[in-house]
Each structure stands twice: as C-alpha cells, then as structure tokens.
Structure 1
Amino acid sequence: MDSAVNTRRSSPGAAVTCAAVLVAAPASGQGKTTVAAALARLHVRQGRRVRAFKCGPDFLDPHWLALATGAPVHSLDLWMTGEADCRARLHAAASEADLVIVEGVMGLFDGTPSAAELAEHLGLPVLAVIDAQAMTGTFGALAYGLQNFRPGLPWAGVLANRVASERHADMLKDALRDPGDWLGALPRSADFALPERHLGLVGAAELGDAMVRLDAAADVLAATPLGQRAPGQLPQVRFEPAPTAPVAPLLAGRTIAIARDTAFSFIYPANLEVLEALGARLAFFSPLADEPLPPCDAAWLPGGYPELHAAVLSASDRLRLSLANHVTAGKPIWAECGGMMALFDELATRDDAEPTDVHRLWGVLPGRAVMQKRLAGLGPQQLDLGAHALRGHTFHYSRCETPLAPAARTVGTRGGEALYVHGPVRASYFHAWFASSPEATARLFSAMPLELDSHAAQAPPDAPH
C-alpha cells in the first residue's frame, strides 16, 4: 500500500475531501461500466480503497462495480433516493476511501433527473467515455458538446473507447480543442468485453472469468494518462455531511427470509441495511437449490431472472411446499418483479428459435407470467401506503395474465404498476427503494393489512431511467 492511501477519519459532522469522478457517456453502450470498473480495479490492485456508486436505479452494473471494489455499491438518484441520501452516502464513502467513482446512467443528459444534474448538484467532475470507433474529428465535437452543453458542468476529461490503433488515438486526441482533456484510449477487445442480454449486462457472478476481464481492462487502462494518475492527481471533491433520520425498530424480533441466488439477485444493498435498521434478522435461501423457506415471520422474493432458470425452479418442490405452508399460516410475502413471476401458477418463456415453453411454477398466485420481446415497463414509480410513500422503479419484459384485480397501482409511467394482494401476499413489478420510507417498508413485511387509501402523491419524473 503506497503513501497516497487515505488515512483520514472524519467525524459524522465534518466535511471531507476525496478524489472523485462521475463516469458518463453520450449514450448507453459506450463502455461506462467497463471504464468505471477498470479504474476501480486498477486502484484496488495498487492497495487503495475505492468506493463506487451507480447513478439511477440499476441492479446489474453494480455487480461489476462491487466485484472491482470489494464493497457494496449503492444507487444515487435525486428523485428515487433523494439528494440528502446521496450526500450522506457519498460523505460516508469519502471519509474512508481514496477514490470515489460514480457510474452514470444512459447518456449524460438523458432522463429526469439526469447524470449531469447529479454531477452539478454534488460537484462531481464528469469523466466522459466516448465510443470512438468509426470517427475522428467528430470525437472532438462530442467531447466539446458534453462539456459545454450545460455551462458550469464539473469536468474531468474524456476517454476514447474501442479505438482501432495508436494512429487512430492520435487523431482523436488532435480533434480536442483542449489537449488537456485527453485521458487516453482503450482498444476494442474481447478480453474485457462485458456480455449483455435483455435486461442489461450479465451479472459478474454468472461468469467464471469476470475478474479476469476486469484485470485485462485494468491492465490496458494502466497505460493511459487516466490510469497513471494517483488519486491526488485526480479531481478533488469536498463532500459535506447530510442529516439522516433515525429508523425506528418496527421489525424488531422478526425474521425475514430472502431469496438470493443467480435467479433472484436484484437486491439493493441499501434495502438490506434498512431491514436490519428496522430490527429484522435476515435469513437467506436459494430457490435454485430448492432450499425451503428458513424459519421466518415474513419473506421477500426480489427480482431477477426466473425466466432463465424456469425449468429448475419448476422442480423446486420443497420450496413450493414451504411457500404454501407459509401463506396458509398467514405470514406475509413481498414479491418484486421476478419474485412475483415465480409465484404464479405458470411462467411462459419464449425463444426466437423455439415455440413458447410453459413451466409450472409455485402456484401461490393464480395465473401466469408471460415473457415477450418488447419492453413492458420502464421508469420511476411510487407506491403510496397510507401516509407513507415508497419510491422505486420498474423494468420488465413480461406481462401478467391473472384473474386478480389490482388492490392499488403505483404512480408512474404507463399508468403505474399493479399491486396484487392475495391473502398475505403482496406482489408487484415495482422495485422498491426501502430507504425512501422505512415505515412503509415495515408495513410490507407486517401481518397487518396494507393502508391503500393513498394520499395525493408527488408524481415521479416522466422521463424513463
């Protein structure tokens, strides 16, 4: 560990300064995750402490950032998580880290709120990643536009991705108005490409060579001007503390069973923290291993990819029986997106080359979930439970065919998402950010009826995340 490693320890009420960048791009698919994870991995290998965050709702990119840093990755979103939450998490991270990396969402100015708005509000300098294949001079125009479209945007520089050769890199550098903006170039390489599918990147835990890919990207980045800079040579950001409200132990003495494996991995680390702050004991189990529910007072089935594991989940007879007994006992279940899909009688999957396959699932909810080619839901959502509101989002490629009538709907894009209440089961395509309302979260896992006489809500932004 070198002498540049941060040894600061600040009090909760003291401001702290730390190297920090927000990795952004003109659009999705430019290589933000590769660059952010490679930069984190490079500094971790050099003995430094790195904390990473993801702008906006996302479960998949954080898998790669967590692998690179060895630390939990939280979301930062001015609407879903709130500015105070963003500031508190960044301050806590900067107090213990040598470098803070925030990965943006979509294009720099896309969405409401956008990554650019987050950068402006929190003073995070933008490191722009541009896919430069098949361009030369236009690279300079894109870099200039990203930096100057909104006057006063904090700026760190630009990195070219998927570059063909050293000569190509030189032409890209020459296209910049300010040569000082040049942070280097990465080539196109299968060695560190991150594979994708219908919901985004393949999770790091699903690839046996995930760390090998990150190390290959870090090796290439190490030769660039960006990779050769120690944290002290990167932009320094002053992070002010933000007040955090205490959480009442509304779930004290209760055990919550949580499905967690490659089929059910869409779990915000912050959500687990909230459940523990509420006083709950967490017990994890794997549906793919046909593990029955552990002894518990409530269960959480988070989102994921049940459609990729439908045949295995169909054969999970021990879990199916334990879920039925759990419901018969009147114990609550909160099921989000993929977790809800697995609770239906059937799951209909599809393949472009094959007819639709129908799999018998867990039979807790009547009806079926049906996969489709087109995106069925995307954007920020809010679920009102009495005087409290949970914020979150939706992102799915399936639809429900069920005789159940929605007990309520979230407020959001495309008319919101249905909330189904069937006995003690509460299920929706809605992914909740528990920290937005610990009180409403406790209600989801309580045996008490939900308060669904919603108050007038502040509608989420129209633009999808």
Structure 2
Amino acid sequence: MSSLINFPRLLISAQKGGAGKTLVSLGLVSALSSIGSNVIPFKKGPDYIDAGWLAFAAKRPCYNLDPFLMSSEIILSSFLSHAASDAIAIIEGNRGLLDGVDVQGSCSSAQLARILKTPVILVLDCTKVTRTLAAFVKGCQVLEPDLIFGGVILNQIVRLRHADIITRSIETYTDLNVLGVLPRLKNFSFPMRHLGLLPWQEHGEGEVIIKILTEKIKENVDLDKVLEVAQNAPSFSSSVPIFWPNREKDVKIGVFRDEAFQFYYPENLEALTALGAELIFLDALRDSSLPSLDALYIGGGFPETQAEYLEANSSLRKDIKEAALAGLPIYAECGGLMYLGRRILWQNKAFDMVGALPIDFEVGEKPQGHGYVKAKIVAENPFYPLNMELSGHEFHYSKPINWQKGDFSLVMKLSKGHGFYQGYDGVVYKNIFGAYTHVHVLGIPVWAVGLIEAAKKWKEGLTFDFRNICQDQTLVLNGINNFIKS
C-alpha cells in the first residue's frame, strides 16, 4: 500500500569529483546538527570512506543509496525506512552530478535525485574560473530538466571580487541563488588515500576536522536558505519501508571492526541481526583469541597499513586458521580476503597473515580493479545459489601472487570488472568465500540468508555439504519486503 511522503531532504553534488562536496556535506551535517536540526546522512554510490565520515559527523549510521546496486523501488524503500519527517536528510552524491556508467548518465547522482525527487545543491570548485560556471549550471538544468535545483555553493574562492563575478553570473543567467561562498582554506590538511579521504578511524583528529568544517559552513553558508530548500522538497509516493523479519537470535557471527577492517554497509549488519544473528564485534589488532562463533564476516579496509600489528597478533591468526580449516563459514571481502592469505607484500616488506588461503597479496601503487562489478555464480559454494547473477563493486590496489590453479575454486565469472584473476572472482576453499567484490544486501538479499543458514548448519554440528545449503532456501528475490517466506 502506497502513502504520501514528505521528508525534508537535499542532495549535495558538484561538477566533478574533488570539488569539495564531501567537505561541504560533512560541514552541513555537523552545522545543522549544532543548531538543533535532526540530520540523517546518506551517501550515493558504493563508497565506504565518505559514508564513514558522514556517520562520524552525524553520530549515527550513514546509509548508501546506489542505482547500480539496487532498484529504484528498493532505493525508495530504504530511504523511507531511514529518513524521518522531523529530520533533514542530507545525501552526498558522487563524482559529477551527471556522471554515470554510460552516455545517458545511468546510475548518476542526477538519477538518484530524480528517484527521490530531491532538490540538488551544486558545490562548484571556483579555481581559475568565473562566468563559465554559469554556463555549467545552466547546462545541467538543460540536460536534466526534470531535476529540482535548490541552489549553489561556491568553493575555493580567493577574494571578494572573484566571488562577486561568479555570484552575479549565476544569478543573472540562471534562476538559482548562491547559498554560500567558501574561501580557500589555509593551513587545512585533509589526508587522502587512493583517490579519496583517509578513513576517520585512521585519522586521529576527526573531531578537529569536523569542528573546522562546521565553523566554516556556519560562517559562510546561509543555513536558513539551505533548510528552506530541504523543507520545500516535494512529496512523493512510495511503498512501505523495508521490513526485516525480527527473528530470535540463534547464531553468533563474528565481525572484525577496527583500524584494518572498517568497510561494512550498515544495512548488511542490520539484515544479519534481524535475521537471527548476534553480532560479535572483534578487533584483529588487539583480541588475542577467537571466541566461539558460528560464522565469521571480515569486511574490507586497509590491512596493509596495519600489517605490522596484524602480523604481531599471531595467537588470533592461529585461531582463525584453525577454525577456517575446521570448516567455520567465513565470508571475506577485499581486505578480509587479503587477511586470510599467507602474506601481504607492501612497500618492500612481507607480513605474515592468517594463512588459511594459499595466496600472497602484493599491494601496488596503481588500482588493480576499480568500479562496478557484474557477475554470475558458475560453481558451487557455501553461500550463493548456482547461476545466480549479482552486482557489486571493487576497489583494490592489491593483486594475488604465488598461487596455483586447483588450490581453490573461483566461482564468480565477471561480465564487468576485474576481480581476482582474468575476469573471475570468488575464492572458495572449504567453507571460506573470499572476493574482491563487495555486495550490498539490499541488492542481494540472498547474501544475508546464505550467511545465516551456513551459521545455523555449523552450529548444529552437522556433517553435510555446505555447497548445497542455498538450494534449500525458499527465496522471493523480486521484492525486499517479502523476500523470505517463513
């Protein structure tokens, strides 16, 4: 049954990546919170690091909305289940407003704004440009006439005359107002890594960064007008919020969450919890032993930057290897996959890892895989049904070395993306499933079901073929609200 929804919301976008939309989004989230607004952050795309900073600034989870990974209906339902009528939803876009996976701009921030009927505020990098920005803004309006544009924020302004020319140009040639003018920040350093921000978990001075951005936004942006844009967002019709059946907790799933492993979608963890998992959060750097578990989930991150500490924790690595070889179900994504290997080679040093997989991983200076993934399950495995098609994403600077065919199976054939080796991903050994591909449960609900069912079977201590458990699940994959039949 549909209902009319009226949630204040806006989407922060830009003319390109690196224009400052993340810093503006962080500053707006914190600044609006500081004046009494209830702010709920969202991130467009598969990004973990920006979403992590937004969650840090808002002091609440940041949810991802991605037209590539999930349908329009799922995006609406997810937004509806997390937004609120008494809050301001701030959605940070990615790349340029119109940049998608093809010439039509499919899966762009603009497409997400259309799906959610959300006003767009453009952040413009004003470095070495003036009146041309008016042409850019006008061009966006012409190319995307169905979008709702709420205004413009100028970034990297060096002097008043610079701001005046750009402001008058935009307000003369378009019907949009300039809502803020941000000066070029002096003596401000935001460490970067791999084309993006350093994760807040590794930064060490996150509170200082957020405080600086909050002050700059409050000093230079008209927050009243920003709130007005958000509050004037049109109502739209949507299905009911996502419903996860709240089942009794009957399995324990370990989740590593520390400086080395940080990349988890909140929705993935929420789905596991709702479907019956008690999540046991672990620290791969400091916990000396592995507790009794029914399954293990190791997300992505930067294990290479923490490799010395991971190596030093030999007792935990030994426990994990023994559990893996005994058949404990383990799902590992990217950094987690690297951790399960023999060694990580980085900056001319080699660090011992768990050793459950007969693979070394070498971290280089250039991306080995970066972007969206399309794959098909082509061999039996512990978690996914055979012939299932799935979407995901990858972003890794490491590659596997010193391994032999036949030591394990590769069960995912990629039609888009790089993966583990020559268009294949999904390393399966015993009941380990490791992949460079990250998945989002709202696009692939069977992921959560498979992990829960594998944990239940392990807990029961049954001797059986894990490869067939997914064939016994009764799934409805056409809608998230009823995808599991009791």
Q: Normalization by structure 2: what TM-score?
A: 0.84
* Aligned residue number for residue 216 of structure 2: 220
* Aligned residue number for residue 145 of structure 1: 139
Secondary structure, aligned partner of 2:48: coil
Aligned mate of 1:442, from 444, 449, 466: 449
Question: Structure 1 residues 274 and 89 mapped into 2: Cα distance closer, same or farther (>3 Å)?
Answer: same
Q: Which amino acid aligns with 2:276?
A: G
1:164-243 superposed matches below 5 A: 164-176=158-170, 177-178=173-174, 180-190=176-186, 193-198=189-194, 200-229=196-225, 231-232=227-228, 234=230, 235-243=232-240
* Aligned residue number for residue 422 of structure 1: 429
Secondary structure, aligned partner of 2:296: strand
Q: Is the 8 A contact 2:137 2:174 kept in 1?
A: no
* Aligned residue number for residue 386 of structure 1: 385
Q: Note if 1:93 corresponds to 2:82.
A: yes
**How far is 1:248 from its partner?**
6.0
- Separation in structure 1 between the aligned mates of residue 349 and residue 361 of structure 2, nearest angstrom: 12
Q: Note if 1:346 corresponds to 2:343.
A: yes
Question: Structure 1 residues 452 and 188 mapped into 2: Cα distance closer, same or farther (>3 Å)?
Answer: farther
**How far is 1:263 from its partner?**
0.7
**How far is 1:157 from its partner?**
1.2
Q: What's the CA shift string for 1:230-286, capped at 9, x where partnerless?
A: 634543232433245655679951110011001100011111001012111100110
Q: Is the 8 A contact 2:78 2:241 kept in 1?
A: no
Question: Structure 1 residues 431 and 190 mapped into 2: Cα distance closer, same or farther (>3 Å)?
Answer: farther
Q: Which amino acid aligns with 2:395?
A: F
* Aligned residue number for residue 57 of structure 1: 46
Q: Normalization by structure 1: what TM-score?
A: 0.88
* Aligned residue number for residue 372 of structure 1: 364
* Aligned residue number for residue 317 of structure 1: 314
* Percentage identity across paired residues of the two chains: 30
Q: Which amino acid aligns with 1:256?
A: I
Q: Which amino acid aligns with 1:28?
A: G
Secondary structure, aligned partner of 2:301: coil
Q: Note if 1:84 corresponds to 2:73.
A: yes
Unaligned stretches of 5+ residues in structure 1: 1-11, 351-355, 458-465
Question: Structure 1 residues 453 and 373 mapped into 2: Cα distance closer, same or farther (>3 Å)?
Answer: farther
- Separation in structure 2 between the aligned mates of residue 138 and residue 230 of structure 1, nearest angstrom: 24
Question: Structure 1 residues 146 and 215 mapped into 2: Cα distance closer, same or farther (>3 Å)?
Answer: farther
Secondary structure, aligned partner of 1:37: helix
Q: What's the CA shift string for 1:352-375, capped at 9, x where partnerless?
A: xxxx21111111110200111221
Q: What's the CA shift string for 1:335-365, capped at 9, x where partnerless?
A: 1000010111111112xxxxx2111111111
**How far is 1:217 from its partner?**
1.8
Secondary structure, aligned partner of 2:68: helix
Unaligned stretches of 5+ residues in structure 2: 102-106, 378-383, 459-464, 472-476, 478-486
- Separation in structure 2 between the aligned mates of residue 180 and residue 126 of structure 1, nearest angstrom: 11
Question: Structure 1 residues 16 and 191 mapped into 2: Cα distance closer, same or farther (>3 Å)?
Answer: farther
Question: Structure 1 residues 248 and 453 mapped into 2: Cα distance closer, same or farther (>3 Å)?
Answer: closer
Q: Is the 8 A contact 1:87 1:240 kept in 2?
A: no
* Aligned residue number for residue 353 of structure 1: none
* Aligned structure 1 segments of 4 or more residues deviating by more than 4 angstroms: 190-193, 244-252, 387-390, 451-454
Secondary structure, aligned partner of 1:237: coil
Q: Which amino acid aligns with 1:133?
A: T
* Aligned residue number for residue 335 of structure 1: 332
Question: Structure 1 residues 245 and 16 mapped into 2: Cα distance closer, same or farther (>3 Å)?
Answer: closer
